[in-house]
């Protein structure tokens, strides 16, 4: 199989584009709000530094050594008596499950990009009604925008690594950063900024509990796109002689920076007008538009920029969720890229419709299980079960199964991970990451009642 190679900057931006997504701009701020600010941010930063970063190096390493789709990479690298490791490569399919709801949320963002021109909501109640009416009643609008998202993402993936994925990231990632940093500069001039800063960086220790810890570990995987083979698949097209450690560092750094900037921007706006931070998932769809209403027509402009940034972030992540399975179908079943994209897109488009229907008033019951909407079930399953499992497979594979000489040879060749740093990294993926993941999964199964 012929794997196209990214340019160096193309790879960095594509990997960062995958990492920087709805997780940073939508989820991170509302989780920070829910878990009380500083303490959560601190654990998040610690997990990113001590777990996420090491796992990203491990995941990139498998891709860079395997140079194929996830299944083939595992199969190639596993020792002869352990070829069953190829099944770990099926983690790529989780991307399709994530896409069923991720694409629906991108659809909501598209909808908001249009809706804000009709004026921003004047009260929280009005904003709540608008959001609830969208997800509760407007079936056709949701299907329309979800379909639009499926088509846009599908088209980019269809264009391939060079002509699609690299190109779009080269445009969207800098635009996204420009918008967010622009908003930050403005937020800086608001009184709300110092409150936002204090909220995010002054840990309230009484809020520090193990639930926050577990959510932080789960989120560090999600936000860095780990445990599903997205980064692995991109790394299969890593340009020659690229330092894995350096690239992983830049990507982790950018992802974290953007989450913090998004948080500061959103909380500055919110605190400027005394809104509460703990609003849950509706934070950017309900609280933010209401607050921006206070800025008059400037508010519409800010809302436009904000939702544009959110859309860009979502699209560049979505393509990394679709690409692994597409690559797999091309490599293993000789699909053309077009056919692979159409088949995969159709599947998650369809399930995505079921997911969005599960929130509606008329169809909700039909698409729920045990009182839980399908949307939530899909999100919970991937976020809290499948990604940690995938991450677990990655660290065990690199930490215990891959011959040490091979790991060392590559990391030494590619530059800097030697001596003490290498030892620390190995310790992290052999012990810290697996233990944290086991702890998380046990907790999920209710074995540890926390
Ligand atoms: N990291 C993206 C976000 O923060 C989502 C994402 C893209 C993802 N690719 C992934 C999550 C692979 C897990 C695995 O929104």
46-73 pLDDT per residue, tens: 999 999 999 999 999 999 999 999 999 9
The residue to mutate among 20, 156, 223, having the most atoms of ligand 1 within 8 angstroms of its beta carbon, is: 223
Q: Where are the domains of the chain?
A: 8-444
State which of 321, 322, 381, 386 you would mutate to test the pocket of ligand 1, scoring each by most atoms of that ligand within 8 A of its C-beta. 321
Q: How far is CA 15 from CA 62, 236, 287, 338, 428, in A?
A: 15, 12, 30, 23, 22
Find the length of the chain: 450
Ligand 1 centroid to 72 CA: how many Å?
22
Question: Residue 24: CB within 6 Å of ligand 1?
Answer: yes
What's the 351 CA to ligand 1 centre distance in angstroms? 19
Query: In this predicted structure, what is the pLDDT of residue 7?
Result: 85
Average pLDDT value for the chain: 89
Task: Say which CATH architecture domain 8-444 belongs to.
Answer: Orthogonal Bundle (1.10)
Low-confidence residues in the chain, pLDDT < 50: 450
Whether the CB of 17 sits within 6 Å of ligand 1: no
Specify the ligand 1 atom closest to the Cα of 313. 15
Of the chain, the end-to-end C-alpha distance in Å amounts to: 48
Question: According to the model, what pLDDT value does residue 225 have?
Answer: 96
User: Which ranges of 67-138 does DSSP label H, i.e. alpha helix?
Assistant: 70-77, 94-115, 124-136
Counting from 1 in the atom list of ligand 1, the atom nearest the Cα of 223 is: 4
Query: What is the pLDDT at residue 372?
Result: 87
Instruction: Return the best residue to mutate from 19, 252, 388 for the ligand 1 pocket (most ligand atoms within 8 A of CB).
Output: 19
pLDDT at 450: 47
Beta carbon of 290 within 6 Å of any ligand 1 atom: no
| Buried/exposed 199-225: b ≥16 CB within 10 Å, e otherwise | bbeebeeeebeeebbbbbbbbbbbbbb
Angle at 341 between CA 369 and CA 347, to 5 degrees: 20
Q: How far is the CA of 318 from the centre of ligand 1 (A)?
A: 8
| pTM of the entire predicted model | 0.92
Residue 431 CB neighbour total at 10 angstroms:
12
pLDDT for res 415: 65
Whole-number pLDDT of residue 441: 81
- Report pLDDT for 24: 92
């Amino acid at each position: 199989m012929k794997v196209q190679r990214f340019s160096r900057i193309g790879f960095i931006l594509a990997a960062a584009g995958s990492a920087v997504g709805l997780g940073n701009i939508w989820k991170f701020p509302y989780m920070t709000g829910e878990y009380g600010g500083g303490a959560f941010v601190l654990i998040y930063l610690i997990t990113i530094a001590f777990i996420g970063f090491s796992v990203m190096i491990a995941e990139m390493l498998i891709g860079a050594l395997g140079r194929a789709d996830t299944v083939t990479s595992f199969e190639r690298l596993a020792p002869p008596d352990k070829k069953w490791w190829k099944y770990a490569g099926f983690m790529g399919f989780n991307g399709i499950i994530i896409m069923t709801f991720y694409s629906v949320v991108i659809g909501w963002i598209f909808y908001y990009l249009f809706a804000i021109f009709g004026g921003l909501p004047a009260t929280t109640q009005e904003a709540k009604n608008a959001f609830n009416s969208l997800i509760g009643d407007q079936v056709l609008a949701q299907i329309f925008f979800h379909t639009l998202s499926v088509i846009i993402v599908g088209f980019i993936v269809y264009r391939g690594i060079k002509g699609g994925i690299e190109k779009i990231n080269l445009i969207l990632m800098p635009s996204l950063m420009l918008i967010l940093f622009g908003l930050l500069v403005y937020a800086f001039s608001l009184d709300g900024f110092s409150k936002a800063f204090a909220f995010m960086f002054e840990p309230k220790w009484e809020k520090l509990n193990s639930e926050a810890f577990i959510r932080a570990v789960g989120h560090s995987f999600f936000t860095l796109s780990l445990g599903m083979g997205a980064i692995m698949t991109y790394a299969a097209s890593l340009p020659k002689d690229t330092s894995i450690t350096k690239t992983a560092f830049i990507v982790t750094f950018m992802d974290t920076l953007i989450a913090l900037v998004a948080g500061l921007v959103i909380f500055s706006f919110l605190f400027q007008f005394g809104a509460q931070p703990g609003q849950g998932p509706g934070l950017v769809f309900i609280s933010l538009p209401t607050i921006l209403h206070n800025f008059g027509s400037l508010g519409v402009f800010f809302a436009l920029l904000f939702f544009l940034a959110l859309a860009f972030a979502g699209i560049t992540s979505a393509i990394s969720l679709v690409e692994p399975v597409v690559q797999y179908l091309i490599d293993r079943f000789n699909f053309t890229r077009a056919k692979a994209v159409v088949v995969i897109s159709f599947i998650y488009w369809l399930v995505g419709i079921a997911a969005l229907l599960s929130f509606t008033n008329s169809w909700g019951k039909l698409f729920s299980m045990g009182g839980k909407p399908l949307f939530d079930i899909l999100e919970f399953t991937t976020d809290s079960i499948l990604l940690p499992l995938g991450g677990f497979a990655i660290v065990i594979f690199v930490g215990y199964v891959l011959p040490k000489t091979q790991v060392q040879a590559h990391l030494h060749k590619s530059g800097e991970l030697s001596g003490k740093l290498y030892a620390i990294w190995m310790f992290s993926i052999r012990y810290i990451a697996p233990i944290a993941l086991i702890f998380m999964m046990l907790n999920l199964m209710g074995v540890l009642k926390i």
